[in-house]
């Protein structure tokens, strides 16, 4: 089957919903780390699995176009599925205005992230996906979920030689050999938790029981989730927010914790992210942003996106002049730099310098007769610079190479990159 990447291809197979960019931005929502089943199949077109169907979504001006692959053509029923998935009954611009009025920091960042809303996902898929998010990043989680679906899920269709599979049921992941298969697929220690939680759901709570937590209070839903293998407070809050209709749930990881301390002064005395600190930060944001606090956090910080990818400092376009002076031992004229120092007693003025004696001006000791510095240069008495062939460059002279982010110690080393590079490092480190 061929991929349909624009409404102009087979117009009869496409439908649209009215959805301005202020209400939804596909590019910001589907790539934010809330879900891991969508990919940009062509510029502006997103293809993925929702339920037991494969969809392609395209946003054009104030319309959300979609097509569904399979025997059933799109219609009012599929309109309802999309409206429920994106929770389009929640008016986003009014929430943005309320959050911005209550929070100056939100007001500053919101203009860069319009149309960010929280998805309403299947609870089982959301739970098992976020168990995989522990110590992980979005690209790797996406690849893991793809392998999981290929190995355990039902095949739905094939688009341009690419197969698509449904998310596996808890029973499919609860078998005795499921953990071993998951380890073979690269899940590592997470394999035990994925298969263990799937078994606990299949043999106890059930998929419908998990879905019924939508009607339970937030605290009770989180308590039930935290009893499952591999589920802590952060994963439980992700599931509560994105699958169980708990808009007040605020997932807190180290990134959110740092943001809360830096911009809001929340949990000032905390030294580690304990369950108490997690609760304290969540309560703070619920008091600030109100009943849709989890939605506001999705705008101000990615809610459950582990290890956010940060840009790096670009290398300078041209070589820059070093701003720090050379050490005293490297003050020789350019024509003599890097040459071997003559032995004591030889050369002009050398007769008056015995081996091992001090320089009359308090400089470094001369090398002993017959000895050499490591590379033909001189040594300073207290860990100073060593000559290194051409020029007497200090030992730490790192170059900023493309794709490299230097550590602060290297940035501040004698002869290292400029203070502009350090400022760039500190900016992106935030």
Q: Which two tokens stand for residue 91?
A: 């008016």
Q: Name the band, by pLDDT with cuts 50, 70 and 90, for residue 31.
A: very high
pLDDT at residue 430 above 90? no
**Higher-scoring residue by pLDDT: 333, 278:** 278
Q: Is the separation of the CB atoms in 170 and 178 below 8 Å?
A: no
pLDDT of residue 97: 96
Burial class (CB in 10 A: 0-12, 13-18, 19+), 266: buried
**CA nearest neighbour of 400 among 385, 384, 415, 390:** 415
In three-state secondary structure terms, 115 is coil
Task: Quick: pLDDT tens for 83-93.
Answer: 999 999 999 99
**CA nearest neighbour of 260 among 275, 240, 282, 242:** 282
User: Of the segments 174-178, 211-215, 320-324, 334-338, which one has the largest average pLDDT value?
Assistant: 211-215
- CA-based end-to-end distance of the chain: 46
pLDDT of residue 388: 40
pLDDT of residue 417: 43
Q: Name the band, by pLDDT with cuts 50, 70 and 90, for residue 357.
A: very low
pLDDT of residue 370: 45
Paired with 163 in beta bridges are 158
Q: Which are the catalytic amino acids?
A: 234
CB atoms within 10 A of CB 280: 15
Indicate the helix (H) or strand (E) that contains 286: helix 275-289
Task: Quick: pLDDT tens for 34-45.
Answer: 999 999 999 999
Q: Is the separation of the CB atoms in 43 and 34 below 8 Å?
A: no
Task: Quick: pLDDT tens for 240-256.
Answer: 999 999 999 999 998 89
> Mean pLDDT, to the nearest integer, of 356-363?
46
pLDDT of residue 239: 98
> Mean pLDDT, to the nearest integer, of 110-128?
95
Q: What angle do CA 51, 2, 87 make, to 5 degrees?
A: 30
Q: Name the band, by pLDDT with cuts 50, 70 and 90, for residue 134.
A: confident
Q: What share of the chain is helix, strand, coil (3-state, %, to 5)?
A: 40, 10, 50
Task: Quick: pLDDT tens for 307-322.
Answer: 333 333 333 343 334 3
Question: On the CB side of 59, how many CA atoms lie within 13 Å of its CA?
Answer: 17
Torsion of CA 189, 190, 193, 199, to 10 degrees: -110
**CA nearest neighbour of 338 among 286, 385, 273:** 385
How far apart (Å, rounded) are the C-alpha atoms in residues 256 and 75?
40
Percent of all residues in the chain with a pLDDT value above 70, rounded to a whole number = 70
Least confident of 115-124, 299-308, 394-403: 394-403
pLDDT of residue 355: 41
Task: Quick: pLDDT tens for 53-105.
Answer: 999 999 998 999 999 998 788 899 999 999 999 999 999 999 999 999 999 99
């Amino acid at each position: 089957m061929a991929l349909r990447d624009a409404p102009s291809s087979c117009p009869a197979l496409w439908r649209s919903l009215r959805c301005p960019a202020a209400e939804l931005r596909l590019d910001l929502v589907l790539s934010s780390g809330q879900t891991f089943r969508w990919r940009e199949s062509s510029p502006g077109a997103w293809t993925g699995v929702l339920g037991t169907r494969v969809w392609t979504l395209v946003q054009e001006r104030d319309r959300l176009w979609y097509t569904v692959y399979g025997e059933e053509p799109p219609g009012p029923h599929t309109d309802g599925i999309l409206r429920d998935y994106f929770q389009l009954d929640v008016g986003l611009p009014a929430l943005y205005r309320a959050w911005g009025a209550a929070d100056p920091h939100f007001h500053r960042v919101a203009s860069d992230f319009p149309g960010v809303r929280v998805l309403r996902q299947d609870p089982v898929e959301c739970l098992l996906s976020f168990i995989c998010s522990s110590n992980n990043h979005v690209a790797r989680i996406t690849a893991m979920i793809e392998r999981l679906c290929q190995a355990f899920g039902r095949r739905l269709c094939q688009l341009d030689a690419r197969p698509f599979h449904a998310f596996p049921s808890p029973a499919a992941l609860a078998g005795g050999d499921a953990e071993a298969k998951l380890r073979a697929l690269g899940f590592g220690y997470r394999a035990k938790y994925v298969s263990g939680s799937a078994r606990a759901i299949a043999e106890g709570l059930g998929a419908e029981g998990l879905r019924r937590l939508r009607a339970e209070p937030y605290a009770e839903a989180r308590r039930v989730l935290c009893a499952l293998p591999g589920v802590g407070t952060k994963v439980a809050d992700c599931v509560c927010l994105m699958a169980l209709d708990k808009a007040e749930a605020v997932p807190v990881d180290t990134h959110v914790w740092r943001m809360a301390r830096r911009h809001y002064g929340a949990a000032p005395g905390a030294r580690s992210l304990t369950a108490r600190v997690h609760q304290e930060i969540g309560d703070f944001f619920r008091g600030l942003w109100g009943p849709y606090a989890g939605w506001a956090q999705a705008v101000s910080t990615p809610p459950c996106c582990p290890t956010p990818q940060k840009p790096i400092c670009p290398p300078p376009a041209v070589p820059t002049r070093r701003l720090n002076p050379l050490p005293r031992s490297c003050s020789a004229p350019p024509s003599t730099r890097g040459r071997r120092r003559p032995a004591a007693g030889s050369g002009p003025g050398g007769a008056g310098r015995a081996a091992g004696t001090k320089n009359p001006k308090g400089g470094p000791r001369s090398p002993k007769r017959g000895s050499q510095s490591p590379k033909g240069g001189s040594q300073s008495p207290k860990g100073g610079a060593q000559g290194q062939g051409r020029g007497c460059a200090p030992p730490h002279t790192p170059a900023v190479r493309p794709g490299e982010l230097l550590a602060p110690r290297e940035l501040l080393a004698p002869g290292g990159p400029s203070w502009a590079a350090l400022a760039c490092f500190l900016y992106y480190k935030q």
